[in-house]
Amino acid sequence: MKIFGKRLSEYIGFQRIFLLLILVVGLLRLALSVGDVSISLVKWFSITGLMLIGFVYYSIRVHTSGFGSYKQLLAVLAIQWALAQAIIIGGIALAIFSGKDNAYSIPEYSGGSDGKTWFHALAHLVVIIVGTLVFWGVGSALMFFTKKMGPAGNATAADS
């Protein structure tokens, strides 16, 4: 499958370390909260924080590495958002089926209401689209300024 001229495997390879970090932090957060570790400790393992770091890094790196431009940035961010939200939706589903809250379903992170609902899980599907587009808009501005500062580097996608 090609997305904006690149295979899905190229996108995954380009950001493999970061995708692995999202997966590890997301699952660690879930495991700690299911294991009754204090939420004050669990919240230090933040997918949101990783997403912020990743969006800034890849908004610059996509161009400077020669990997691509605005279209490729959109795909990179969509993959990150899809992975993060899949973990969160899985955590919400686990809470629904088990009847026990976890870091992804507690009211503190569910708008103050019960997060063990299918509506909450479905809302995270919308977050994939909205989050990707919002971050792509801001990331495109970062990329624009990066392009104005100089030409793309000679690095290859394998260097990332």
How confident is the prediction along the chain (160 residues), in pLDDT tens digits per residue? 899 999 999 999 999 999 999 999 999 999 999 998 888 888 899 999 999 999 999 999 999 999 999 999 999 999 999 999 999 999 999 999 999 999 999 988 777 888 999 999 999 999 999 999 999 999 999 999 999 987 655 544 443 4
How far apart, in Å, are the Cα atoms of 22 and each of 25, 34, 86, 94? 5, 18, 11, 19
Stated as kind and residue range, the H or E segment containing 6 is strand 6-7
Q: Cite the DSSP H helix spans in 15-117.
A: 16-34, 39-42, 47-64, 70-98
The residues near 42 (Cβ < 8 Å, ≥ 6 apart) are 29, 32, 33, 103
Predicted TM-score (pTM) of the model is: 0.87
Distance CA 152, CA 99 (A): 51
